[in-house]
């Protein structure tokens, strides 16, 4: 069969026209007692101004490490970026000093941590915590920082923000604390917000409200968003594009509809199960695929999905190249090179 797919350079496919963020061949490792763990393998993706990107994949696939690498917050001394570039507005963040990175963090790029509900300091008032960044990054006086903080607490839906700003974190419900975290992340007007599982600890109704809030704020503030989640419904509802991660690789990337309607990687197809319609996956979690991800200290040679893939063939013992089945859509699988459409052959084990 003729090869219907175009092999692409890692960073070429699915790259938005104007890139705010360009992650190029990012490789991140941890030194552990069991040896070196490679958590990210040559990860590449781009993000345009105001665009929303979903990062999905099973636990341990490298979603948080991607966020921490971008923020320069890898646990030290174990974690380090071994190679690659993280271009934000054309500046390579991997080359910045700690001090220069501190100026970017919180101001231009903000992160809502995976354990956001425990990230607030219990012994400081919300005012202390939310005004700190506004004073440091924006050079505001205490009174101006307080006014700005109240404005942002109001924006995220905290009732009576002028009074609640004097409260301590334990005086807020889980959903309200999450709103405070969002206000704190946004107070300096970042151009990129990274939200790492921001709703996982919340009940379903509150989750929906927080997601709606993030979606609204993203548009109002013209901010780009990287949404890390296990929930395909969240991706469908909020993201323009999706990166599917497996064992530290971005195995598939594309527009939301391309990923949900025309998954090209067997892992993505496995996550989606056999549900083809976007509407019907709203609120659904990742499907479980038999087996577990590989030990990152000792990954299989070639395609990391080989031990779990019912489509595996001899070629899969070599690392698959990135191929593009259609514009803005790319995947790392030998089946694409062979011209096989995984979407039509979802017989996963
Ligand atoms: N502090 C650390 N020390 C050693 N290895 C680490 C550390 N943090 C992460 N890793 C390694 O990096 C891999 C990716 O971790 P990461 O936290 O990015 O996963 P994740 O996709 O965010 O998972 P989850 O959905 O559970 O949050 C892990 O499987 C682990 O092997
Ligand atoms: S490269 Fe081979 S093992 Fe990997 S996903 Fe494709 S078919 Fe499966
Ligand atoms: Mg994580």
**pLDDT above 80: residue 18:** no
Helices (H) and strands (E) in the chain, counts: 11, 13
Confidence class for position 206, pLDDT limits 50, 70, 90: confident
What percent helix, strand, coil does the chain show, rounded to 5?
Answer: 35, 25, 40
pLDDT for residue 232: 82
Q: Is the pLDDT higher at 286 or at 261?
A: 261
**pLDDT above 60: residue 133:** yes
- Ligand 1 atom closest to Cα of residue 32: 4
In the predicted model, what is the mean pLDDT of residues 26-47?
95
pLDDT for residue 260: 92
**pLDDT above 90: residue 101:** yes
pLDDT for residue 117: 65
DSSP helix/strand/coil, 197: coil
Average pLDDT, the chain: 88
pLDDT for residue 348: 38
Q: Is the CB of 28 under 6 A from ligand 1?
A: no
pLDDT digits (tens, 9 = 90+) for 139-184: 999 999 999 999 999 999 999 999 999 999 999 998 899 899 999 9
Left if phi > 0, otherwise alpha if psi is -120 to 50, otherwise beta: which for 90? left
pLDDT for residue 11: 42
What is the Cα–Cα distance from 81 to 154, expressed in whole angstroms? 38
DSSP helix/strand/coil, 105: strand
pLDDT for residue 347: 39
Q: Is the pLDDT higher at 199 or at 61?
A: 61
Q: Report how far ligand 2's centroid is from the alpha carbon of 318 (Å).
A: 10
Could you tell me which residues come within 8 angstroms of residue 174 by beta carbon, excluding any fewer than 6 positions away? 117, 201, 202, 206
Read off the tokens for 333.
């699988």
pLDDT for residue 278: 44
pLDDT for residue 258: 95
Contact 19, 192 (CB under 8 A): no
Task: Indicate the pTM of the whole model.
Answer: 0.90
Nearest to 23 by CA among 7, 41, 39, 47: 47
CA-nearest residue, atom 3 of ligand 2 = 306
Q: Report how far ligand 2's centroid is from the alpha carbon of 240 (Å).
A: 26
Contact 250, 39 (CB under 8 A): no
What is the Cα–Cα distance from 154 to 229, expressed in whole angstroms? 26
- Ligand 2 atom closest to Cα of residue 303: 4
What is the Cα–Cα distance from 114 to 43, expressed in whole angstroms? 21
Percent with pLDDT over 70 in the chain: 87
What is the Cα–Cα distance from 176 to 233, expressed in whole angstroms? 22
CA-nearest residue, atom 5 of ligand 1 = 30
DSSP helix/strand/coil, 324: strand
Q: Is the CB of 320 under 6 A from ligand 2?
A: yes
Q: Report how far ligand 2's centroid is from the alpha carbon of 335 (Å).
A: 7
User: For 181, phi and psi rounded to 5 degrees?
Assistant: -60, -40
Give the number of whichever ligand sits closest to the CA of residue 310.
2
CA-nearest residue, atom 27 of ligand 1 = 59
Give the number of whichever ligand sits closest to the CA of residue 269.
2
Q: Is the pLDDT higher at 24 or at 280?
A: 24
* 267-278 core/surface letters (b: 16 or more CB in 10 A; e: else): bbbbbbbeeeeb
What is the Cα–Cα distance from 271 to 267, expressed in whole angstroms? 6
pLDDT digits (tens, 9 = 90+) for 263-290: 999 999 988 874 444 444 445 555 578 8
pLDDT digits (tens, 9 = 90+) for 307-345: 999 999 999 999 999 999 999 999 999 999 887 766 554
CA distances from 299 to 133, 292, 304, 314 (A): 41, 12, 7, 17
Beta bridge partners of 193: 110, 225
């Amino acid at each position: 069969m003729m090869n219907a797919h175009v092999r692409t350079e890692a960073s070429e496919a699915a790259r938005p026209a104007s890139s705010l963020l360009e992650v190029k061949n990012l490789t991140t490792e941890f030194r552990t007692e069991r040896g070196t763990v490679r958590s990210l393998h040559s990860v590449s993706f781009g993000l345009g101004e105001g665009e929303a990107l979903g990062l999905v994949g099973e636990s341990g696939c490298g979603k948080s490490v991607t966020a921490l690498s971008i923020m320069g917050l890898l646990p030290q001394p174990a974690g380090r970026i071994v190679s690659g570039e993280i271009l934000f507005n054309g500046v390579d963040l991997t080359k910045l000093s700690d001090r220069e990175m501190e100026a970017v963090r919180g101001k231009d790029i903000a992160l809502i941590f995976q354990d956001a509900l425990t990230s607030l300091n219990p012994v400081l008032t919300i005012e202390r915590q939310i005004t700190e960044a506004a004073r440091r990054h924006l050079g505001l006086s205490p009174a101006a920082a307080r006014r700005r903080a109240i404005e942002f607490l109001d924006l995220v839906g905290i009732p009576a923000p002028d009074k609640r700003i004097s409260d301590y974190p334990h005086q807020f419900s889980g959903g309200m604390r999450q709103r405070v975290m969002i206000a704190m992340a946004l107070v300096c007007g970042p151009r990129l917000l990274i939200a790492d599982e921001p709703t996982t600890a919340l009940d379903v109704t509150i989750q929906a409200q927080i997601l709606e809030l993030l979606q609204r704020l993203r548009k109002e503030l013209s901010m780009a968003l990287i949404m890390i989640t296990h929930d395909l419904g969240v991706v469908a509802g909020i993201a323009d594009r999706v990166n599917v991660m497996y064992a530290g690789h971005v195995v598939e990337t594309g527009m939301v509809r391309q990923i949900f309607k025309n998954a090209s990687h067997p892992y993505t197809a496995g996550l989606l199960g056999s549900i083809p319609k976007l509407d019907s996956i709203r609120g659904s979690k990742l499907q479980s695929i038999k087996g577990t991800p590989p030990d990152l200290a000792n990954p299989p040679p070639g395609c990391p999905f080989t031990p779990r893939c019912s489509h595996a063939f001899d070629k899969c013992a070599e690392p698959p190249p990135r191929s593009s089945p259609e514009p803005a859509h790319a995947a790392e699988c030998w089946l694409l090179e062979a011209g096989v459409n995984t979407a039509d052959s979802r017989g996963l084990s």
